């Protein structure tokens, strides 16, 4: 199969590209190469890989392909609070532009896969959100992702564009940019610096190893699921303090509390994210790396 992947030089996108190439697919990667993109990756000279440096909100042409998978996005919540316009441009307008380019294709329109987030639901104190739950984003980042989803659904109903939406929980793993919690903890411990934690560290997230996430996305595409939305979670709910404790243990640090610097909450702080992903499990998807109530140790 021939894939167009947007944002394939970033964290999650690069793992998906790696998976595609490992399974013999052709990949055209469209990436505007922001601060979080990788200049060099091991597959740059692979004959099945091509990089196009462009911004999805500005491109005027989509190469012929079977599937378009959109990872391209601004994703750091703190940055969205400081510069919401940039998030609207990339995450909402960018998706609109991709959909318009697909709409313009008269023959053999590709499947459009929108990579979304559990943050579109907002936070929940008990229970877990299902795919049909009402979206209630609590910051400019999640609002821009929810807006993109609405465009996808409307273009399916109005123009017949086939789609797949995945909403994944918090990813972690190799190649994650240092602004995110887990790489920030790792770099802080390595450099003997204090780890910044919002509030009192009690905020809860569901952590999924990035390779499990991209395997789930690939599984849904290859098995021809379309015109549907899937939550991708791990049922691995940890407070930020628990995350610090686990990662500190990788460095044989017991007194992890002494390495923490509690900082003020971000505006609109969400308390707990949790999604029900039984719909994914019903497709016979199997996790390879998930450690319930722990984190897969990916560093040596």
Residue 81 confidence (pLDDT) above 80: yes
- Annotated catalytic, 141? yes
For 150-182, write each residue's pLDDT tens digit. Answer: 999 999 999 999 999 999 999 999 999 988 999
Nearest alpha-carbon partner for 70 in 55, 80, 84, 81 = 55
Q: Characterise 33 by phi-psi region: left (phi > 0), alpha (psi -120 to 50), beta (else).
A: left
- CB environment 95-112: b (16+ within 10 A), e (fewer): bbbbbebbeeeeeebbbb
Is pTM beyond 0.85? Reply is: yes
pLDDT digits (tens, 9 = 90+) for 245-255: 999 999 999 99
Q: Distance between CA atoms of 215 and 153, rounded to whole angstroms?
A: 24
Domain chopping of the chain, boundaries: 2-172+208-232
Residues 68 and 170: their CA atoms lie apart, in Å, by: 23
Which of 49, 121, 141, 172 is catalytic? The answer is 141
The fraction of the chain above a pLDDT of 90, given in percent, is 85
CATH of span 2-172+208-232:
3.40.50.720
Structure-derived torsion over alpha carbons of residues 95, 3, 168, 102, reported in degrees to the nearest 10: 20
Q: Judge whether 82 counts as a catalytic residue.
A: no
Model confidence pLDDT, tens digit, residues 95-133: 999 999 999 987 889 999 999 999 999 999 889 999 999
Respond yes or no: is residue 118 known to be catalytic: yes
What is the tens place of the pLDDT at every residue in 25-67?
A: 999 999 999 988 999 999 999 999 999 999 999 999 999 999 9
Q: How far apart are CA 250 and CA 244, in angstroms?
A: 10
Whether residue 270 is predicted with pLDDT greater than 90 in this model: the reply is no
Cα gap 84→79, rounded to integer Å: 8
């Amino acid at each position: 199969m021939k894939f167009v992947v947007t944002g394939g030089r970033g964290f999650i996108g690069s793992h998906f590209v790696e998976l595609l190439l490992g399974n013999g697919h052709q990949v055209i990667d469209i990436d505007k190469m922001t601060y979080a993109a990788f200049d060099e990756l091991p597959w740059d000279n692979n004959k099945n890989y091509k990089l196009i440096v462009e911004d999805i909100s500005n491109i005027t042409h989509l190469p012929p392909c079977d599937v378009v998978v959109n990872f391209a996005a601004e994703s750091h919540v703190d940055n969205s609070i400081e510069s919401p316009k940039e998030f609207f441009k990339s995450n909402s307008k960018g998706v609109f532009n991709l959909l318009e380019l697909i709409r313009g294709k008269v023959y053999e329109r590709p499947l459009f896969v929108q990579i979304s987030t559990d943050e579109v639901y907002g936070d929940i104190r008990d229970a877990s959100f299902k795919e049909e739950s009402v979206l209630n984003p609590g910051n400019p980042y999640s609002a821009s992702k929810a807006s993109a989803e609405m465009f996808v659904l409307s273009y399916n109903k109005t123009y017949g564009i086939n789609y797949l939406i995945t909403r994944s929980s918090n990813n972690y793993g190799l190649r994650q940019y240092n602004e995110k919690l887990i790489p920030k903890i790792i770099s802080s411990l390595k450099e003997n610096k204090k780890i910044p934690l919002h509030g009192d560290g009690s905020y809860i997230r569901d952590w999924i190893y990035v390779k499990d996430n991209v395997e789930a996305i690939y599984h849904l595409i290859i098995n021809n699921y379309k015109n549907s939305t899937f939550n991708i979670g791990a049922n691995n709910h940890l407070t930020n303090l628990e995350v610090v404790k686990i990662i500190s243990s990788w460095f044989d640090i017991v007194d992890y509390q002494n390495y923490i610097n509690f900082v003020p909450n971000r505006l609109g702080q969400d308390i707990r994210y949790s999604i029900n992903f039984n719909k994914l499990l019903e497709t016979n998807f199997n996790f390879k790396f998930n450690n319930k109530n722990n984190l897969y140790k990916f560093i040596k």
